[in-house]
């Protein structure tokens, strides 16, 4: 396998397989970290800026009657 065009001249296919395994294992972890660390604070900042969003799912609550106390999408309490 010629890997010179990737900058891995002299590397074996096993190296590429190991590299792909690392990437495939890292991707779900990074998606979970993004979800758990960044999404809720961004939604809270958007609410402070005047957007009426559900903190649980991001559903836009603008235009809904104030008597609706829960999000129609996920059921989280409207805050």
In whole angstroms, what is the distance from residue 42 CA to residue 68 CA?
23
15 within 8 A of 22, measured Cβ to Cβ? no
| pTM for this predicted structure | 0.57
Task: Tell me the mean pLDDT in the region 22-42.
Answer: 89
User: What are the tens digits of pLDDT across the range 37-75?
Assistant: 899 899 999 999 999 999 989 999 999 988 999 999 999
pLDDT recorded at residue 51:
92
pLDDT recorded at residue 17:
86
For tokens 């829960």, name the residue: 70
11 within 8 A of 3, measured Cβ to Cβ? yes
Tally of residues, the chain = 79
């Amino acid at each position: 396998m010629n890997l010179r065009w990737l900058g891995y001249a002299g590397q074996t296919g096993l190296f590429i397989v190991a590299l792909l395994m690392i990437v495939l294992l890292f991707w779900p972890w990074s998606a979970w970290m993004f979800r758990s660390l960044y999404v809720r604070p961004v939604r809270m900042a958007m609410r402070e800026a005047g957007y009426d969003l559900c903190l649980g799912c991001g559903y836009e609550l603008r235009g809904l009657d104030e008597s609706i106390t829960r999000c129609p999408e996920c059921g989280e309490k409207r805050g």
